Amino acid sequence: MDLRVPVTIATVYATCVHIANKSRGPGTPPARFARTQLFKWLVIAHNLFLCLYSAWTCLGMSSSIVGTLIDSFRAQQRSSSGVWRGLCSVNEGIWARGLSYYGFLFYLSKFYEVLDTVIILAKGKRSSVLQTYHHAGAMLSMWAGIRFASPPIWIFVVFNSLIHTLMYLYYTLTGLNIRAPKAVKRALTTAQICQFVFGGSLAFAHLFVYYFDPSISGYTSCLTNSGQTFALFFILLYLAPLTYLFVGFWIESYVLGKPKGKAVEKEKAVKSVE
């Protein structure tokens, strides 16, 4: 959890992608290995693994949240404070009952997901600004949320793992030459944008939450220290440009109708989210 780890990896990643992009353009052939059957099946295995891992994370976190909320709700005589205590308390809420575990693994998965970019580059394509920004920013954002145990991080773990389950399932099927209608692709991109807007808004609302804490016999803020607040604002600042880039991609792909080759290349650059 040393800050130098995500900063170094994100910087090296972005720099390498920038250098690799210079040698790629329209007509750039795939690497020799990328034209083999082994490469194809490795890509399928990669997408399937991330699909299953994301589903496991989503189900595990959902189970932890439901169990925690039910217990907290009953413990505080079915009041709304019990719900918020379950979502906000680091010692007795979802952080202690699963978020610290699933969240940390989810943070580590952001480093593995750079293989998405490696695959794109191996195919002779460029990594878009959206692709590079997303992966580099996700490393730093998840680091901040887990390092400072910021309560709203549960939103991003649950929502993003759900979207990733659907996205990587779609790309697994695509790798198996099972084609989905364009409406499915449009729906997935729309779902990604919705998770940023809704998730970011819900996370921001945590700033104004105060709940009754029996351990101190008084009300306390959901965000109890400057580290938790910093992590929240860092993630929100990361989401703003990411949402803008995704909306731009949605308009270019489904409204303006860019040339097929360029649209397909850019579409593959958004196969993962944060």
pLDDT at residue 274 greater than cutoff 70: no
Residue 219 lies in a domain: yes
**How many domains does the chain contain in total?**
1
Kindly indicate the confidence band of residue 77, based on its pLDDT and cuts at 50, 70 and 90.
low
Residue 11 lies in a domain: no
**Pairwise CA distance, residues 159 & 153, whole Å:** 10
133 alpha carbon, distance to own chain's centre = 12
Q: Cβ neighbours of residue 44 under 8 Å, at least 6 residues apart?
A: 172, 175, 176
Q: Which residue segment(s) compose the domain that 255 sits in?
A: 38-268
Is residue 124 within 8 Å of 32, Cβ to Cβ? no
pLDDT at residue 82 greater than cutoff 90: no
Structural tokens at position 131: 């692709």
The mean of the pLDDT values for the chain is 88
Residue 26 lies in a domain: no
* pTM for this prediction: 0.87
pLDDT at residue 266 greater than cutoff 60: no
Direct distance between the N- and C-terminal alpha carbons of the chain, in angstroms, rounded to an integer: 19
Residue 32 lies in a domain: no
